[in-house]
Amino acid sequence: MRIIPAIDIINGKCVRLSQGDYSTQKVYNDSPLDMAKRFEAHGVKYLHVVDLDGAVAQKIINWKSLEAICLKTSLVVDFGGGVKTNEAIQTAFDCGANQVTCGSIAIKDSALFLTWLKKYGSQKIILGADTKKQKIAVNGWEETTEVDLFYFLKKYISEGVENVICTDIEKDGMLSGSSGNLYEEIIQKFPTIKLIASGGVDGIDDLKQLKKIGLEGAIIGKAIYENRIPLVELEKFIINN
């Protein structure tokens, strides 16, 4: 199972939110690049970068931070937040992102999303399935739609999507444990996808549970920043994983 620390960026700084609420933001590091280098020094190979300013503005804002991370580390980076146009997704790849996570656009403009899936390929495009009570949320989670999570997944998996990040918004940033039952149900229904868990990871035992379920990867945010999972312990898990 891939271990994927998260760097969420507001005003060029590393922050964490609780349940996607921007009013709860807490700054953990003034430099996303420094944070990325710390992760890399502890054996991390993958990184999840989210432009939270971009998610709200509906255009990429913090592209310089993405570019710096991609240029100055060897981390495999997936990027999301504000990717709404052909120019934006090309900017993300030009800045060095290995993959781009697309969530809101898959709801707002299905035809454009499918164009990207065809153009860049299923290994470059990740479907972002951000869910609240099994309904898809978009635009930095500020809007919850009536689109059912499982309908959403089935639709795009049938179109060739292979990589999915599923975030349980109610768990995100709460350090209350991840949604193992939900992920288990998704894998049972769609056994061919590479599913990455996001939201709620609170300790090494949680990672062990997700690995047992069969997740492709797990995104970890606040548990690292609040030292619930010290980087030395995370490094040991990566080595033995």
**Pick from 36, 46, 43: which is nearest to 240 by CA?**
43
End-to-end CA distance of the chain: 7
Q: Which residues are designated catalytic?
A: 8, 130
How many other CB atoms sit within 10 Å of the CB of residue 198?
A: 28
Q: Tally the residues of the chain.
A: 241
**Rounded Cα–Cα distance for residues 20 and 124 (Å):** 25
**Rounded Cα–Cα distance for residues 123 and 128 (Å):** 14
| Cβ proximity of 129 and 103 under 8 Å | yes
**Rounded Cα–Cα distance for residues 222 and 200 (Å):** 8
The amino acid that residue 46 corresponds to is Y
